[in-house]
């Protein structure tokens, strides 16, 4: 390969995952620079000068090849997203979807983005309602420092609110222009009013008397699995959980930690590493949250046989654990109007033999063969 006419000549996208092809392209640029085949532009980051044109070119290739599912997957946040309005690149792609008669794709991306932002916003509001709590176990920070951190945290609520209202207003305009139902417009208006008031409406419906066993936990996680984006599900999950009794809400948090601990295994870490081209401790935690959000069937099948994982489910983005852990505290606050009591958390212990990262392909040969770069 060589760098010619502003692009990496000879680079062949796999056209399976835009995230994967984009990562491969950036590595190709870095390799060419290391080989002395690229002249850096003084004062301009390599990402901007030599990688960005390749990103734009890849998007065009995906449109040309009709890989709309892969494009939608790339621009749909999976568990976490930047707390900001949609980027110009994302908006441009969504407008192309609409021009092609694929407005439903644009709406799904917007819903996912808005849903995740709402979850973060309500977490901030919940922390303000809970008030400052001194954590003596945090030996590296004094009580005064912890209080200052808490005050700085909640002081960001107006900024978060302004961003979210802008996103929700633009989303409503899109829904109206695309002929959304009055029910969906009304729900969006309710969301906007709640954000304005900084007060999430109490959930409506009968109290669910069931205890939070594993079946009920997965019933909640699987709800909307095939019809809602991860962002939508994470947005609605606290409301759905708030219909349970307080003990069951706390039980949800306990079940989440138990199920997460079950996936804290060497072979599952190897799977995350191979799918993502690397995996730190934090990335593995995020991946486990994403895996839980894929639903019970996928989660249990993955634990039974990590090498049999259907890699088409993974699009280079993995996240969701932070948002999942916020669900029970937000639901408890919705139901009880006060903070959920803290639970003692046991440190996780990695199950399985110690395996060097270089040996992960041997541990999962099928996944390694499917994910290896050209």
Which sequence spans correspond to the domains of the chain? Answer: 98-201, 205-374
Cα 202 to Cα 239: distance, rounded to the nearest angstrom: 8
pLDDT at 374 over 60: no
Half-sphere exposure (CA, 13 Å, Cβ side) for 286?
Answer: 17
Cα 302 to Cα 292: distance, rounded to the nearest angstrom: 10
**What is the Cα gyration radius of the chain?**
22
Q: What percent of the chain has pLDDT over 90?
A: 68
pLDDT for 247-295, tens place per residue? 999 999 999 999 999 999 999 999 999 998 889 999 999 999 999 999 9
pLDDT for 128-168, tens place per residue? 988 888 877 776 788 898 899 999 999 999 999 999 999 99
Pairing of strands 7-9, 2-4: antiparallel
Average pLDDT over residues 18-44: 90
Cα 164 to Cα 237: distance, rounded to the nearest angstrom: 19
Give the other-Cβ count within 10 Å of 362's Cβ.
Answer: 11
- What is the predicted pLDDT for the residue at 78? 79
What does pLDDT average to over the chain?
Answer: 92
Q: CA angle, corner 266, sides to 262 and 269, nearest 5? A: 85
pLDDT at 364 over 60: yes
Supply the pTM of this predicted model: 0.81
Gap between the terminal Cα atoms of the chain: 12
């Amino acid at each position: 390969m060589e760098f010619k006419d502003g692009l990496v000549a000879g680079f062949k996208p796999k056209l399976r995952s835009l995230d994967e092809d984009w990562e491969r392209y950036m590595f190709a640029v870095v390799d060419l620079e290391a080989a002395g085949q690229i002249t850096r532009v003084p004062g301009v980051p390599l990402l901007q000068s030599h990688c960005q044109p390749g990103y734009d070119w890849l998007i065009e290739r995906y449109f040309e090849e009709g890989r709309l599912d892969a494009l939608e997957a790339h621009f749909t946040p999976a568990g976490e997203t930047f707390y900001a309005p949609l980027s110009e690149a994302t908006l441009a792609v969504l407008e192309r979807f609409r021009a092609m008669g694929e407005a439903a794709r644009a709406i799904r991306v917007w819903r996912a983005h808005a849903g995740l932002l709402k979850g973060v916003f309500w977490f901030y509001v919940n922390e303000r309602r809970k008030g400052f709590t001194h954590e003596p176990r945090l030996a590296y920070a004094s009580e005064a420092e912890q209080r200052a951190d808490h005050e700085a945290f909640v002081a960001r609520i107006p900024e978060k609110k302004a961003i979210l209202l802008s996103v929700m207003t633009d989303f409503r305009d899109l829904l109206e222009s695309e002929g959304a139902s009055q029910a969906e417009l009304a729900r969006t208006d309710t969301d906007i009013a709640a954000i304005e008031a900084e007060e999430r409406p109490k959930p409506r419906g009968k109290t669910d008397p069931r205890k939070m066993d594993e079946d009920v936990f997965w019933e909640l996680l699987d709800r909307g699995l095939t019809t809602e984006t991860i962002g939508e599900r994470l947005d609605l999950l606290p409301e759905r959980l708030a219909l349970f009794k307080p003990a069951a809400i706390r039980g949800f948090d306990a079940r989440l930690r138990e199920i997460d601990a079950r996936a804290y295994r060497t072979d599952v870490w190897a799977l995350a590493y191979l799918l993502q081209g690397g995996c730190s401790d934090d990335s593995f935690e995020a991946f486990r949250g994403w895996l839980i959000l894929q639903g019970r069937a996928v989660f249990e099948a993955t634990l039974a046989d990590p090498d049999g994982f259907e890699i088409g489910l993974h699009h280079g983005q993995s996240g969701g654990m932070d948002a999942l852990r916020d669900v029970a505290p937000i639901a408890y606050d919705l139901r009880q109007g006060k903070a959920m009591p803290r639970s003692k958390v046991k440190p996780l212990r990695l199950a399985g033999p110690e395996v060097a990262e270089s040996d992960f392909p041997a541990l999962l040969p099928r996944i390694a063969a499917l994910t290896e770069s050209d």
